[in-house]
Structure 1
């Protein structure tokens, strides 16, 4: 099976698997495109590892979103699901190992650090897609999907104690809000990126997002 056929088959599997709005195939392709962009600014990037990693990185997102306990980590579960897919597509064991590392380390909350250039690029690309204009759109897609309120009348500390578990994973997504996501996650992203190009893009995107949320807060309060 040639590499193009493998990629097409992975896309078919991912499209069938990902039904939640903000982590659907559109998100996967945006991350994929960002991976290709960032890879042009780095040396010795193995695209045969990076591309399937990008396509499969959120393969277990639905399971995590439907879990009310906060115990399922889609990065960890995604490694197991991806391994089965990659074996059936006859990927080499060393490639599978490297792809699993990329998937395992692509999110903040796993506690696992990316230590290959492919894993760092995937991490950066996935984080860039949650800030800026795309990030705002995705946040409110999720907010609508899970019936979140626009704001919540409790302190951030109280919310975090009541609705998050170890490593900051959310128990009940319906109790989350776009403003909380901005405060606890989005603000921190540019400083946590690994590649120079991603940090440059991240600062621009976050500035746009900051302006939006500041304006939204004023409008909610009836201030013009």
Structure 2
């Protein structure tokens, strides 16, 4: 059960995230954040030993200092810390939230799975769920266009066992499905996350088959 003070912090954190991401056109806007929060809160209900407040705040803030969406990460990090101090978030909760934000991303886990708290596992699952399924497809093309990536080139094979430098190197939009999105189902942490990922994963497979058929000129 959240206290009134915690509820107010959550409301203020929503406004903070909304303001920080107001100029995002890469699929990491406040609509994405709101979906991740809802998914995280849903999963949290199935993990009763987890802390709802930390899950919710971390879900709201998980993209506000990501270098995909801001240029000066260090400045953004300091502003985030100052915001949490202003909201009187306890120091232990601040550290728990920062640990989640710092370690949950796909690229941070390319070579070695980073340790996460139960709250971190929940937020990571929620974020990854929003990367697959119908919304995930839309966000992938939206992000690819934002970065001026080629939609598809059959001559460019998807990469496997990518390094961080590989991941930062532009690829085609369709290759991103094979290099990341199709891998997420088997990287879910929670039982509920795994369950929710199944249908969304199958939606990706169906889409890719349809895309390939149409690309090759199938009239069926």
| Shorter-normalised TM range | 0.7 to 0.9
Moved over 4 A (4+): 76-81
Match of 2:24 among 20, 30, 43: 20
**Partner residue in 2 for 1:110:** 108
Match of 1:87 among 85, 97, 105: 85
Superposition TM-score, scaled by structure 1 size: 0.83
Contact residue 105 and residue 123 of structure 1 kept, 8 A: no
Contact residue 130 and residue 186 of structure 1 kept, 8 A: yes
Superposition TM-score, scaled by structure 2 size: 0.85
3-state SS in 1 of match to 2:104: coil
Q: Which has the higher helix share?
A: 1
Distance of 2:166 and 2:146 partners within structure 1: 21
Aligned-residue RMSD, C-alpha: 2.6
**Partner residue in 2 for 1:186:** 181
**Partner residue in 2 for 1:40:** 45
Q: Cα distance, 1:168 vs. partner?
A: 4.5
Runs (5+) with no aligned partner, structure 1 = none
Q: Cα distance, 1:216 vs. partner?
A: 0.8
Instruction: Encode CA deviations 1:27-72: one digit per residue, 9 max, x unaligned.
Output: 00000000011011112111121111000000023x43576xxxx8
Distance of 1:78 and 1:165 partners within structure 2: 26
Give runs of aligned pairs for residues 99-138 of structure 1, distance below 5 A: 99-111=97-109, 113-138=114-139
Contact residue 41 and residue 197 of structure 1 kept, 8 A: yes
Instruction: Encode CA deviations 1:1-52: one digit per residue, 9 max, x unaligned.
Output: 9222222221222112112230000000000000011011112111121111
Runs (5+) with no aligned partner, structure 2 = none
Q: Cα distance, 1:128 vs. partner?
A: 0.5
3-state SS in 2 of match to 1:156: coil
Give runs of aligned pairs for residues 29-178 of structure 1, distance below 5 A: 29-61=34-66, 63-65=67-69, 80-111=78-109, 113-156=114-157, 166=164, 168-171=166-169, 175-178=170-173
Distance of 1:78 and 1:154 partners within structure 2: 39
